[in-house]
Amino acid sequence: MSQQSNFSTGQPENPEKETASGYFGKTEQLVHQYVNNRITLLKLMAAEKGSRLVSLTVMLVLITVLVLFLLIFISIMGGYYFAELTGSLFKGFGIITGIYLVLLILVLALRKKYLEPFVANKFISIFFEKTASDEEPETGQSD
């Protein structure tokens, strides 16, 4: 009869078991919330880094286009200048072409030593740049 009275009142037979399951349920909920917060943080950090990289890429493309136009017009001016000095359009623009050929050879010769490491380091520095939120001290044990 005592078992029936416990069922009819709705009270658990073992209150310690109810407390333990409530604790683990709450802990599981907190772990899920923590994991979701970390995923959201990682998404925001990736969006920040990605948007920074895209904005730098757009600026680099814009600057490159403007420099390209500048070089084209300066090259035309130089070609006509050297053409006037040499008396031949072919020789004048040939001198400008020779200058660009020397620059191309220099770039190809020095790209592995200087250009590729520079670009790779810039790319890495964008992704691993410390922000104000990264510099906050963590509240865990330090080893």
**Average pLDDT over all residues of the chain:** 82
- For 122-131, write each residue's pLDDT tens digit: 878 877 776 6
Instruction: Output the pLDDT for position 143.
Output: 42
pLDDT in tens, 85-102: 999 999 999 999 999 999
How far apart are the C-alpha atoms of 133 and 79, rounded to whole Å? 54
pLDDT at 133 over 50: yes
Residues ≥6 apart with Cβ < 8 Å to 13: 6
pLDDT in tens, 57-82: 899 999 999 999 999 999 999 999 99
In the chain, % of residues over pLDDT 70:
76
CA distances from 14 to 7, 17, 24, 28, 123 (A): 12, 6, 16, 22, 60
Neighbour count for residue 52 (Cβ, 10 Å): 13
